[in-house]
Chain A
Amino acid sequence: MLPASFQYQRPSTLDEALALLAEHGEDGKVLAGGQSLIPLMKLRFAAPEHLVDINRIPGLDGLSEEDGVLRIGALVRNATLERSDLLKSRYPVMAAAAPMISDPIVRNLGTVAGSLVHADPAGDWGSVMLALGASVVLRSSRGEREVPMGEFLVDTFTTSTEPDEILTEVRVPAPAPGSGGTYLKLERKVGDFATVAVGVQLTLANGTIGRAGIALTAVGSKNIEAEEAEGYLSGAEPTEEAFAEAARLAAQASDPQSDVRGSADYKRHVVEVFTKRGLATAYEMAGGGS
């Protein structure tokens, strides 16, 4: 299949882009990486009348950590995140997830911002950002607002983004010392969506668990934050039994569908296995047990 016709605009400033979106409303769509949007357009599941190409707008591709916040611009490509030494050293959940996004060629164009706006429940970045307690900056010609990830992800392919807004930045609080994390993804092959994936972030505080972030991919109508599991771990002793219980709670929080990838029981089971493994890895990385 091939896309339907559309009007194409390529603004050179952010304000121009926002003005176009304000003008076109529901009929307009942002084109950044396009690696989720264009496939949908080719299948004609999406047929926006106006495409606003933001790829030439300067200043949107920043990736830096300042004042305890990692700022990821709208045009930061997945490949950049995959190669980033900053992520490998300080944001291991992201470093583990980045190479798992789609395939290496698609990562050259796809953006983390675009993935979050797309809000596929099988999308990896949503879970990563939930586990990290991240938020997004949404900008329009009306102003700017920061929305925490949990509030941002509303439902399947649905976020709280208004039609005239662009997600300009993802903000990730820098993990405190004594942190570790990972992302475990079960996929049938490179380029497949997850059968199940789990993102885990742990921060230790005085030998106990300070903060735990656990989020699940492809086992619900949106990326799921396993809040009960997180709450259970907060303040708890970091023992194998505690991790096992948290894993059980995470599995309970999931709501998978049976399909060709596996039964709901299987997927729930893998959530449990991956959460347990992820917590062990995160704990070790955080300096636990040493």
Chain B
Amino acid sequence: MATDATEIRGLGHSVKRVEDDRFIRGRGNYVEDVNLPNMLWMSILRSPLAHAKVNGIDTSRAQAVPGVVAVVTGELMAQHNLAWMPTLSGDTQAVLATDKVRFQGQEVAAVIAEDRYVAKDALELIDVDYEPLPPITDPFRAMADGAALIRDEKEGQADNHIFHWETGDRAAWEKAAAEADRVIDLDTFYPRCHPSPLETCGIVADVNPATGKATLWMTSQAPHAIRTVFALVTGLPEHKIRIISPDIGGGFGNKVPVYPGYVVATAASLLLGRPVKWIEDRYENLISTGYARDFHMTGKLAVKDGKMTGLYAKVVGDHGAFYADAQPSKFKVGLFHIVAGSYDIPAAFVEADGYYTNKAPGGVAYRCSFRVTEASYLIERLVQNAAYELGVDPSEFRMDNFVKKDQFPYHSVLGWEYDSGDYEGAMNLALEKVNYAQLRKDQEEARAQGRLLGIGLASFTEVVGAGPSKDYDILGLKMFDSAELRLHPTGKAVLKLGVKSQGQGHETTFAQIVAEELGLQPEDVEVQEGDTDHTPYGLGTYASRSTPTAGAATAIVARKLREKGTRIAAHLLEVAPEDVEFEKGRFFVRGAPDKAKTIQDVAFASYTNFPEGDEPGLEGMCYYDPPNMTFPFGTYAVVVEVDPDTGVWKVNKMVAVDDCGVRINPMIVEGQIHGGLTEGYGIAAMELITFDEDGNCIGSNFMDYLLPTAWETPRFELGETVTPSPHHPIGAKGVGESATVGSPAAYVNAVIDALWHLGVRNIDMPLTSAKVWEAIQQAQSGAPA
């Protein structure tokens, strides 16, 4: 009979999310919701000083509090070789302080108690004898002669310099600069900010004394990799560690590292034989967990005859007290060397130096795509300023220098092979949607009236999907990912992944990939992630990698099952496999479409009537080593008005055109972009972690670390172009971080655009009204901005 006309809701469908059903009922299962019998609560005592010797810790008063079961110090941890642990960047980090504290908020001791309130009470009764040392609050002080040595415990560490890294061709850059018409330069600081997911980090550690098995419910974006790290650090056998990342209330890179609290809670559970729960306060999250950015950057652009001929970028990185950036081991500043961005630049050189300071460790976080946020910000600000200096419209200057559509795959001089792109397409669409030509006229008129309108552009190229085993590993673990798929007799399926959603909707989107490949409906596919005992090994979800890696693995494993299904269908239909075709869940005989078996028939048959010589069942697995990264891109356009009397600026319009290749679920892609544009706005306008002269952290609570509400946040208009990735099985690229990568420069460029004619050249983020006003005053008074 006629083909069933039911649409399979695979790729391109805005399928409503299956995970919503539990969240809207308040039935999510976050780590703090996990309660076990006999469970204890842990709280952490943190250093009030940024830099000090620890001459002694007296825990006797704390131990005497009724309900306190134990007080753990660095000394106790040291007895089990756990006072220090390795970081994801090959350094070591203190778990609990032994000799010194090296940043305000550093972990000093932990109280384990029957009740979470008692655990807090006892903290005040721990007496620590600190001997203050001079705090170092920026990398320039860190590199100065005579600066205090922060990592004096580290063998061979004579100063506060961590690394020097460079790539590109210095001689080629110098030649381009020498031969250029102009070299435009920009010094800019991308300040320390914080991913600040709404759920803080935490763990319920249950080391079962009877079985020796450690079950750790943990806020972790990478449970498998972290399990391996735990095995190496604690000495617990890897098969006796189970990490369960349940529902996670936002990650944004904050939940990738191993935090001291996780280690102490696990050790405490092991020693006490009871589950131990630690859930951070917000203050702990902001002051001690993985911050983002903190890069002082210099960019220089050589231009000849209107063309970009050379690019130089220098980074002075502030890495806090321990070098704990979560990035592939080969790269010291992540993927910063994407800094040539969307432009065809024939010569480029990048050098970077990292320094220790008396601040929390981290650096690679907050939807940065491994430092692409920093690189993209630098190039887009530099290009915008260069356009003004050259007297060229910023959109035209970009267009003239874009990598052209016919140049893809594009080999950049900084070592990348950009898989696909159509930068002009995205730019044209953005300019059209924002009505750019009219806006420039409006701006002229407004200026005549003394009003300050500004239009800011940013055309970013992202690089995601870490990554090919040739270049990418974290602590040696290659950055493949995995998918395991089984069809049940009644035609439903279970898909297990090595990645871990923190809100990105994997339970829906990955089911859609299976739907597309096998013709099941997505609701017939259950997606499981996060439990290391029950999912294949993967490197987790961050840096927009899930779709490029596990998404590819899912498509490939589904295709393996389709191939086997073809043989089963042929067996059922009594034809040769070569005569069977497949479309939307039906295997049919070529030329006789009514002779067909459904995927459900085939699934059942794989258990009940399978071909001789074939293995029963319909299950497969794929570990996917990506051949290349994927390169999403876009152009963002922001329109602002600045109040010259107060420096207050408002976004009047914001257009975001994104290209992430094939979109699995357009609704979810748009949601990711909305979220990233908002975080980008927060970073551009208000988010800041800073330090006073004494190393006190300002920005360790939400009264100081400001998150935009629905009232301040601009409204966004989205557009799309679709340029598939040629090497990805479904043509998809990642998208989670595009908006945080691309938008900060767009917002800042808009404000600078409004003020350029007054003499303002740069304002570092966050662009508070005070800083904007000051910049106007300085420019008007003739002082350099």
Chain A–chain B contact at Cβ < 8 A = yes
B365 → A minimal CB distance (Å) = 22
Known contacts A1-B283, A2-B116; is-contact A262 B770 (Cβ 8 Å): yes
Interface 9-mer from B286-294, B478-486, B609-617, B708-716: B708-716
| Contact (Cβ within 8 A) A191 B709 | yes
B399 within 8 A of A: no
Which residue of A2, A192, A270 contacts B646 across the interface (Cβ within 8 Å)? A270
- Is there a chain B Cβ closer than 8 Å to A195's Cβ? yes
Check B451 for interface membership: any CB of A closer than 8 A: no
- How many angstroms between the C-alpha atoms of A270 and B643 in the bound complex? 12
Given contacts A190-B709, A192-B703, A273-B645, contact A261 B770 (CB under 8 A): yes
CA distance A1 to B711 in the complex (A): 29
Q: Are A189 and B646 in contact (CB under 8 A)?
A: no
* In the complex, B416 has a CB within 8 A of chain A: no
Stretch of B30-38, B117-125, B489-497 with 4 or more beta carbons under 8 angstroms from chain A = B117-125
Q: Roughly how many angstroms separate A193 CA and B706 CA in the complex, as a whole number?
A: 11
Judge whether A260 and B648 touch: CB under 8 Å: no
Of A44, A103, A188, A273, the residue contacting B706 (CB under 8 A) is A188
Q: With A and B bound together, what is the CA distance between A190 and B707 in angstroms?
A: 10
Q: B646 contacts A273, CB within 8 Å?
A: yes
In whole angstroms, how far apart are the Cα atoms of A46 and B711 in the complex? 32
Q: Measured between alpha carbons, how far is A162 from B538 in the docked complex, in Å?
A: 64
Which residues of B lie under 8 Å from residue A273 when comparing CB positions? 645-646
CB <8 Å contact, A44 and B770: no
CB distance from A185 to the nearest CB of B (A): 12
Out of B120, B121, B709, B770, name the residue touching A103 (CB < 8 Å).
B709
Choose among B120, B708, B770 the residue that contacts A1 (Cβ–Cβ < 8 A). Answer: B120
Contact of A189 with B708 in the complex, beta carbons under 8 Å = yes
Task: Return chain A residues, CB-CB under 8 Å to B121.
Answer: 4-5
Interface of B is mostly: loop
CB distance from B642 to the nearest CB of A (A): 14
Complex CA distance for A1 and B117, rounded to whole angstroms: 9
Do A186 and B706 have beta carbons less than 8 Å apart?
no
**B425-448 to A contact mask, C-beta < 8 Å, 1/0:** 000000000000000000000000
> What residues of A have a CB within 8 angstroms of the CB of B704 in the complex?
260
A191 surroundings in chain B (CB, below 8 A)? 709
Q: Inside 8 A of B120's CB, which chain A residues have their CB?
A: 1-2
Cβ–Cβ contact A2 & B769, under 8 A: no
Q: Is the CB of A188 within 8 A of B686?
A: yes
Chain A, range 243-272, C-beta contacts under 8 Å to B:
260-263, 266, 269-270
* Interface flag for B54 (CB, 8 Å): no
Residues of A within 8 A of B773 (CB): 262, 266, 269
Q: Which chain A residue lies CB-closest to B698?
A: A260
User: Least Cβ distance of A256 to chain B in Å?
Assistant: 11
Question: A192: which B residues are within 8 A, CB to CB?
Answer: 703, 706
**C-alpha spacing A242/B212, complex, angstroms:** 81
List the B side residues contacting A270 at CB < 8 Å: 646
Judged by a CB distance under 8 angstroms, whether B690 is at the interface is yes
Knowing A103-B709, A260-B704, A273-B645, the reply to whether A189 touches B770 (Cβ < 8 A) is no
Name the distance in Å between B692's Cβ and chain A's nearest Cβ: 10
Chain B residues within an 8 Å CB radius of A263: 770, 774
Task: Judge whether B735 is part of the interface by a CB distance below 8 angstroms.
Answer: no
| C-alpha gap A193/B704 in the complex (Å) | 10
Closest chain-B Cβ to A21's Cβ sits at a distance in Å of: 26
Judge whether B688 is part of the interface by a CB distance below 8 angstroms: yes
Kindly list chain B residues whose C-beta atoms are within 8 Å of the C-beta of A5.
Answer: 121
Q: Is B535 an interface residue (CB 8 A)?
A: no
Give Cα A270–Cα B124 distance, bound, in whole angstroms. 42
Cβ B116 vs Cβ A261 within 8 A: no
In whole angstroms, what is the CA distance A5 to B698 when docked? 28
Q: Which residue of A lies closest to B648 (CB)?
A: A186
- Judge whether B19 is part of the interface by a CB distance below 8 angstroms: no
Q: Does B528 contact A (CB under 8 A)?
A: no
- Chain A stretch 202-232: residues in CB contact (< 8 A) with chain B: none
The complex places the Cα of A262 from the Cα of B706 at a distance, in Å, of: 15
Which residue of chain A lies nearest to B688 when distances are taken between CB atoms in the complex?
Answer: A260
Contact count A vs B, C-beta below 8 Å: 56
Interface residues of A in 36-54 (CB under 8 A from B): 44
For window 1-36 of A, CB contacts with B under 8 Å fall at: 1-2, 4-5
Contact B117 A2 (CB under 8 A): yes
CA distance in complex: A192, B687 (Å): 13
Contact between B281 and A186 (Cβ–Cβ < 8 Å)?
no
Docked complex Cα distance between A273 and B646 (Å)? 8
Given B117, B712, B774, which contacts A189 in the complex, CB threshold below 8 Å?
B712
Instruction: Please tell me if the beta carbons of B124 and A261 are within 8 angstroms of each other in the complex.
Output: no
B774: chain A residues at CB < 8 Å are 262-263, 266
In the bound assembly, the distance between CA atoms of A260 and B117 in angstroms comes to 33
B143-157: which have CB < 8 Å to A?
none
B234 part of interface (Cβ distance < 8 Å): no
Bound form: Cα–Cα A123–B769 in Å: 20
CB contacts under 8 Å to A, within B696-744, are 698, 703-704, 706-709, 711-712
Bound-state Cα–Cα, A103 to B773, Å: 26
Give chain B nearest CB distance to A98 CB in angstroms. Answer: 16
Measured in the bound complex, the distance between the Cα atoms of B124 and A4 in whole Å is 11
Question: How distant is the Cα of A87 from the Cα of B94 in the complex, in angstroms?
Answer: 57
* CA gap between A266 and B773 in the complex, in Å: 8
Cross-chain contact B646 with A262 (CB below 8 angstroms): no
B709 CB contacts on chain A under 8 angstroms: 103, 189-191
Q: Is B768 an interface residue, CB under 8 A from the partner?
A: yes
For residues 207 through 260 of chain B, which have their beta carbon under 8 Å from a beta carbon of chain A? none
**B708 — nearest CB in chain A belongs to which residue?**
A189
Tell me how far the C-beta of B243 lies from the nearest C-beta in chain A, rounded to whole angstroms: 28
Within 8 Å CB of B648, what residues of A? Answer: 186
With A and B bound together, what is the CA distance between A103 and B707 in angstroms? 13
Contact residues in A for B769 (Cβ distance below 8 Å): 186, 188, 195, 262
A260–B690 Cα gap in the complex (Å)? 9
Q: Report the nearest B residue to A258, measured CB to CB.
A: B770
CB distance from A39 to the nearest CB of B (A): 9
Q: In the docked arrangement, what's the CA distance between A101 and B115, Å?
A: 35
A198–chain B nearest beta-carbon distance, Å: 12
A11 to chain B, nearest CB (A): 25
Q: How far, in angstroms, from A4 to B120 measured CA to CA in the complex?
A: 9
Minimal beta-carbon separation of B164 from chain A (angstroms): 33
Partner of A186, one of B117, B646, B703, B771: B646
Bound: A140/B599 CA distance, A: 81
Bound complex: CA A164 to CA B117 (Å)? 30
A270 to B646, CA, bound (A): 6
Smallest CB-CB separation from B284: which chain A residue? Answer: A1
Query: Could you say which of A103, A262, A263 has the most chain B C-beta atoms within 10 Å of its C-beta?
Result: A262
Q: Which A residues between 177 and 198 are near B, CB-CB below 8 angstroms? A: 186, 188-193, 195
Mask: chain B, 742-785; 1 = CB below 8 Å from A; 0 = not? 00000000000000000000000000111101100000000000
Q: Which residues of A contact B281 (CB under 8 A)?
A: 1
Which of B295-354 touch A at CB < 8 Å? Answer: none
B650 nearest CB across to chain A (Å): 13
Report whether B116 and A189 are in contact in the complex, using a CB–CB cutoff of 8 Å: no
CA distance A189 to B117 in the complex (A): 32
Interface residues of A in 95-142 (CB under 8 A from B): 103
Known: A2-B120, A273-B645. Is A266-B712 also a contact (CB below 8 A)? no
What is the CB-to-nearest-CB distance from A251 to chain B, in angstroms, rounded to a whole number?
A: 13
State in angstroms the CA–CA spacing of A262 and B647 once bound together: 11
Interface residues of A (CB under 8 A from B): 1-2, 4-5, 44, 103, 186, 188-193, 195, 260-263, 266, 269-270, 273
Given A188-B686, A261-B770, 5 further pairs, Cβ under 8 A? A189-B706, A191-B709, A266-B647, A266-B770, A273-B646
Q: List 28 A-B contacts (CB under 8 A).
A: A1-B283, A2-B116, A2-B117, A2-B120, A5-B121, A103-B709, A186-B648, A186-B769, A188-B686, A188-B769, A189-B686, A189-B708, A189-B709, A189-B711, A190-B711, A190-B712, A192-B706, A193-B703, A195-B770, A260-B698, A260-B704, A261-B768, A262-B770, A262-B771, A262-B773, A263-B770, A266-B770, A273-B645
8 nearest interchain CB pairs? A262-B770, A266-B770, A2-B120, A190-B711, A273-B645, A190-B709, A189-B712, A2-B117
